[in-house]
Amino acid sequence: MDSQDETSRTRARRLLALVRERTEHSHEPVFVTELAAACQLSKEESEAAWRYLRDYGFIHTFSIPYTARINARGIDVLDSASKGHSGGGALAAQPTAAGEPTNEKSESTADRWIRSLKNNRVIAAIVVVAVTIIGIGAVAEAIKHIRESITPGTEQHGQFSAVAERDRVPEASPHRPTPASEPSQVASKSPPKACSGEKTLTFSPSDPGVMQTGPDGRRVDLGDGGGGTRLEEWKTRWTAPAKVTSVTCSGQRNEHVLAQNKDGSNAECVGSINGGNDAISMHVAWDGPCDQP
């Protein structure tokens, strides 16, 4: 006996036994490459074993390559091997003719249905009741027509359901926790930093921008200051770190305060001076969320 043929038969027998285990009581086919490790075969060896089983008609095959389901002929050859016959010899049957479907037609109708009833107790109970009522001949004929009408659809369902199950993407649970890598839909915001305080600032009429000027560059004249002097406008401004709550302005003997203004975090003092360069004081208090760093 050719050692290479014997090796092919041995690999095919191991694969066939596992295909039977996975599909004998199911309409779903299996991918033989997924069984390779359990059979101690490589991917290429499992594919070669599948072709061997297909050619000898021991499995059902489908339009998707390397899918298989056990058939009656494959079950018989395994059962024969388990009864003491050579496993290699049991698989050394004649290959199925080209184009011949690899199904259970090589088995007698009676044997096929006895096997089906043995594997399905519910159907067996129904058949027993039906035989009692209408006779075995009518029951066998009815079951034959039912099976012929549903088998193609069942095999097609098995073919596609196996692929669908393999490629199925689990639906996301509506209550699944948000992964840490995903941004949170509601960003947590820390409360703004609060700023509170007060400060006294000192200005001089000689400081840039304190004395106010008109478009012509001359100081703004507010009228007669007495004794031959003229009143001129001064103004000081300062921005606090938060909302200004109070502004208090004061000048010296030649300076008068005309307005003390606050607007948000801005503080302002406006007044008049009739000469001299005495200091001007501004005391500002603030409180609230920080506006400035």
CA 213 to chain centre: 67
Residue 42: pLDDT over 70: yes
**pLDDT (mean) for 205-222:** 90
More confident residue, 48 or 154: 48
Give the integer Cα–Cα distance in Å for 196 and 86.
97
Give the integer Cα–Cα distance in Å for 3 and 155.
36
pLDDT tens digits along 126-147: 766 665 676 666 666 666 555 5
pLDDT tens digits along 265-274: 999 999 898 8
Give the integer Cα–Cα distance in Å for 169 and 172.
9
pLDDT tens digits along 80-123: 887 765 444 557 655 655 444 444 444 444 455 555 555 566 66
Give the integer Cα–Cα distance in Å for 130 and 135.
7
Residue 57: pLDDT over 80: yes
What per-residue confidence (pLDDT) applies to 262? 94
pLDDT tens digits along 144-199: 555 554 444 444 444 444 444 554 444 444 555 545 555 555 555 677 788 899 99
Eight-state DSSP code of residue 211: B
pLDDT tens digits along 6-27: 888 999 999 999 999 999 998 8
Give the integer Cα–Cα distance in Å for 251 and 278.
7
Give the integer Cα–Cα distance in Å for 182 and 264.
39
Give the DSSP per-residue string, 239-268. E-SS-EEEEEEE--TTEEEEEEEEETTEEE
Give the integer Cα–Cα distance in Å for 287 and 75.
90
Q: How many other C-beta atoms lie within 10 A of the C-beta of residue 141?
A: 10
What per-residue confidence (pLDDT) applies to 5? 79
Asked whether 57 and 70 are in contact (CB, 8 A), the reply is: no
What is the chain's Cα-based Rg? 50
Give the integer Cα–Cα distance in Å for 66 and 103.
16
Query: What ranges do the domains of the chain cover?
Result: 3-166, 194-289
Predicted TM-score (pTM) of the model is 0.36
The pLDDT > 90 percentage for the chain reads 38
Report the relative pairing of strands 30-31 and 67-70 from DSSP bridges. antiparallel
